[in-house]
Chain A
Amino acid sequence: MKTEQKKKWIHQVLPLSCIAIVILLLPFGIQSNYIITVAVTCFLFSCFGVCWNMISGYGGQISWCHAVFVSIGAYTTILMNNLAGWSPFIAIPVSMILSFIISTVIGKISFRYRGPFFSITTIAFAEIVRVLLLNFRDFTGGSAGITRPYIGASFWNLMFENDTPFYYISFVLMVGVVYITYRFEKSKTGYYLKAIKGDEDAAISLGIDTSRIKLTAFQLSAVLTAVIGVFYGAFINYVQPNTICGMDFSVQIGSVVIVGGLGTVWGSMIGAFILIPLIELANILLGAQGGAQLLYGLALIFVVIAQPRGVIYLFSKENRDRIAQKLGKGAKKTSEKIREKGREDI
């Protein structure tokens, strides 16, 4: 028992805390605000990815309306600030309630039946919200979008002189979301959800109320996404329907998770740190507006076809064993195993 604890300490806790310390110290070494901005984007997309993964990865119900939950958070933040001067922290509960209601309606209707209905309904819903945001000009600013003017740095308003405070805030958010998802994965609902993804008929026969479980996961995912959306809105200070509420934003969230590894906490977390810097690099190199966006589509298609388990698979034990076997160490291992088995048999 003691050695096992020690092993866990060495293999999990130590590297994680080292990474955390490096991340916390990083802003002191970097003078460029641009790099910090990219890092914050990575953290926030990582959060979105982890939330998206909750329903789409564990549950196998691909959602394309997470952009709507993000924009609920972002629009609530900016509108509350502009109309009433309220803090983003007041926007958090409001956007949670809004996204809870919306996810309940969509989930209740489309989870009753299996098949692609959920994906189709979410696509349709996202498109409708985008069109409405574009056209209620008086309220949302239409296609010009709305900005949150600078009213002096304060934590209460989530407004700072540079992005370094956001760096820490978004890091904390990421840790929080990952922790919640981790707990969710290990909870009863999480196991049920995975069972449903594996074999829905079998899950039903075991007495699992499948639509109820999917609905719970979707609600949790939506509410968390909206909370992150509040911080995202406060971070970018500018919302525009086509960029934040279109299907494109949902596809970006999805691509991040697919590249990292669908259906795992760590996979959905690391995807953003691979894809977002790549996109930024492509933005700088290609310059064109479509060129970098192409990468999302390409990455999505390529990973789904080539290795649906994503980048995280490269680090998995399974893959290490496979590589070891390829390098010839496998033969020795197998013979050892046979010998051991022989001993046991005797």
Chain B
Amino acid sequence: MWIFTQSIINGILAGGVYALIAVGITVIFGVMRLVNFASGAFFTLSMYLGYFVYSFTGWNCYQLIPAVAILSAAVAYVTFKFTISPVLGKSSDATILVTVGLSFFLQNLVIVLFGGTALTLPSEISNVSIRIGEYTLGLPRTIAFMVAIVLVLGVSLLVNKSNFGRSMRATAENPEVAEMLGIKSRRVYTLAWIIGIVMTSIGGLLLTPIYYVNNTVGAPFRTVSLMAVVLGGLGDIRGAFICGLLLGIIESVFSAYFSAYIGLLGIFIVYLIIFLFKPQGIFGRKERVG
């Protein structure tokens, strides 16, 4: 029983980052119907950006958050301008191909810039853990989880309550009408893309205390969060968040009872089963997605 509870706790903590990335993908998809296959590469890139700033300043991972957020927002703006913007409104194949191309490009760009060897961002808390009764919570994961919750809440407030959120939803609903009402859809798209990317980037940065920085570190995170996005019902922020946590738990339970790498297989099997019976997502409305 101890193993079970402990693995659920671990799963929730690990799921926080999945949820964060999944919400980032969802914000982008919700507005412009574009699945960001490059999220894993931005996740990786943010770790390298963190390392880059660290090598000048020596700040720790949490002091780096604002700097990395600004840098990744800049990268996001540039990539949107040159790669995403030209294919918006074209076929969904084009958007898939461009984001995958972007992902491949960024993944190899970091090798060219930083070399192929794995780097580490030193942190004093990487091995610190909190004890609650007989259970232990790794401190870096706990902080990452809490930051993720705060960011997701912030973004869902932004989307649901603010003026900008209203213009986002209006653009998602019908871009032409939104344009007529004076909403600059291009600007909304750009901002949604930047918000999505910055969320992913912060997720990456928060894991630097426990992960080596190398160019493929983002791949499993991208994979799991894409599955979370699908299971949450494409475009549903709440669904993506809950499914992110859920997949984290599933991975952790499978890893605890079988072996570490079976975790991902467990997620995939659960994904296939849920997708088979509820393709509109766990919280999806009863309608055909398409």
A and B from one complex: yes
Residue positions of A touching B, CB distance < 8 A = 56, 60, 62, 64, 105, 109-110, 112-117, 119-121, 123-125, 127-128, 131-132, 134-135, 242, 246-248, 251, 254-255, 258, 262, 288-291, 293-294, 296-298, 300-301, 304-305, 308
Shortest Cβ distance from residue B76 to the other chain A in the assembled complex, whole angstroms: 15
Contact pattern, B 224-267, Cβ under 8 Å of A = 1, otherwise 0 = 00110110001000000000000000000000000101001100
Shortest Cβ distance from residue A243 to the other chain B in the assembled complex, whole angstroms: 12
**How far, in whole Å, are A121 and B226 apart by their CA atoms in the complex?**
9
Q: 6 nearest interchain CB pairs? A: A290-B111, A297-B105, A300-B101, A297-B104, A114-B290, A135-B261
B71 sits at the interface (CB 8 A):
no
**How far, in whole Å, are A60 and B91 apart by their CA atoms in the complex?**
9
Check if B223 sits within 8 Å of A294, measured CB to CB.
no
Residues of A within 8 A of B93 (CB): 56, 60, 62, 262
Name the one of A128, A290, A296 contacting B268, with C-beta atoms under 8 angstroms.
A128
Check if B108 sits within 8 Å of A293, measured CB to CB.
yes
B109 sits at the interface (CB 8 A):
yes
A-contacting residues, B112-158, CB 8 Å: 112, 116
Residues of A within 8 A of B220 (CB): 127, 131
Residues of A within 8 A of B50 (CB): none
Check if A117 sits within 8 Å of B105, measured CB to CB.
no
**How far, in whole Å, are A262 and B93 apart by their CA atoms in the complex?**
10
Known: A112-B279, A258-B97, A300-B100. A117 touches B37 (CB 8 A): no
B86 sits at the interface (CB 8 A):
yes
**How far, in whole Å, are A127 and B261 apart by their CA atoms in the complex?**
11
B162 sits at the interface (CB 8 A):
no
Shortest Cβ distance from residue A55 to the other chain B in the assembled complex, whole angstroms: 12
Check if B101 sits within 8 Å of A124, measured CB to CB.
no
Can you name 20 A-B pairs with beta carbons within 8 Å? A62-B96, A62-B97, A113-B288, A115-B234, A124-B226, A124-B271, A128-B223, A128-B268, A132-B265, A246-B219, A255-B104, A262-B93, A289-B116, A290-B116, A296-B108, A298-B101, A300-B101, A301-B105, A304-B98, A305-B98
Check if A128 sits within 8 Å of B86, measured CB to CB.
no
Check if A298 sits within 8 Å of B92, measured CB to CB.
no
Check if B102 sits within 8 Å of A116, measured CB to CB.
no
Check if A294 sits within 8 Å of B109, measured CB to CB.
yes
Main secondary structure on chain B at its contact with chain A?
helix
**How far, in whole Å, are A255 and B271 apart by their CA atoms in the complex?**
28
Shortest Cβ distance from residue B148 to the other chain A in the assembled complex, whole angstroms: 21
B272 sits at the interface (CB 8 A):
yes
Name the one of A110, A128, A135, A296 contacting B275, with C-beta atoms under 8 angstroms.
A110
Check if B101 sits within 8 Å of A294, measured CB to CB.
no
Q: Which residue of B lies closest to A262 (CB)?
A: B93
Name the one of A115, A131, A294, A301 contacting B98, with C-beta atoms under 8 angstroms.
A301
Residues of B within 8 A of A127 (CB): 219-220, 223, 264
Residues of B within 8 A of A255 (CB): 101, 104
Shortest Cβ distance from residue A115 to the other chain B in the assembled complex, whole angstroms: 6
Shortest Cβ distance from residue B109 to the other chain A in the assembled complex, whole angstroms: 6
Known: A296-B104, A304-B97, A305-B83. A123 touches B290 (CB 8 A): no
Residues of A within 8 A of B290 (CB): 113-115
Residues of A within 8 A of B219 (CB): 127, 246-247
Shortest Cβ distance from residue A106 to the other chain B in the assembled complex, whole angstroms: 9
Residues of B within 8 A of A123 (CB): 37, 222-223, 226
B35 sits at the interface (CB 8 A):
yes
Q: A131-B264, A301-B98, A304-B101 are in contact. List 6 more A-B contacts (CB 8 A).
A: A62-B96, A113-B288, A116-B92, A120-B230, A121-B271, A298-B105
B94 sits at the interface (CB 8 A):
yes
Known: A113-B288, A116-B96. A305 touches B86 (CB 8 A): yes
Q: Which residue of A lies closest to B99 (CB)?
A: A301
Residues of A within 8 A of B181 (CB): none
B1 sits at the interface (CB 8 A):
no
**How far, in whole Å, are A242 and B224 apart by their CA atoms in the complex?**
18
B289 sits at the interface (CB 8 A):
yes
Known: A115-B289, A119-B35, A120-B227. A297 touches B102 (CB 8 A): yes
**How far, in whole Å, are A56 and B93 apart by their CA atoms in the complex?**
9
Check if B112 sits within 8 Å of A291, measured CB to CB.
yes
Shortest Cβ distance from residue B246 to the other chain A in the assembled complex, whole angstroms: 15
Residues of B within 8 A of A134 (CB): 261
Residues of B within 8 A of A114 (CB): 289-290
Shortest Cβ distance from residue B11 to the other chain A in the assembled complex, whole angstroms: 18
Residues of A within 8 A of B226 (CB): 120, 123-124
Shortest Cβ distance from residue B6 to the other chain A in the assembled complex, whole angstroms: 23
Check if A135 sits within 8 Å of B259, measured CB to CB.
yes
A-contacting residues, B189-236, CB 8 Å: 215-216, 219-220, 222-223, 226-227, 229-230, 234
* Centre residue among B106, B108, B116 by max chain A CB count within 10 A: B108
Shortest Cβ distance from residue A121 to the other chain B in the assembled complex, whole angstroms: 8
Name the one of A115, A131, A300 contacting B92, with C-beta atoms under 8 angstroms.
A115
Check if B275 sits within 8 Å of A109, measured CB to CB.
yes
Q: Which residue of B lies closest to A250 (CB)?
A: B100
Contact pattern, B 13-41, Cβ under 8 Å of A = 1, otherwise 0 = 00000000000000000000001010000
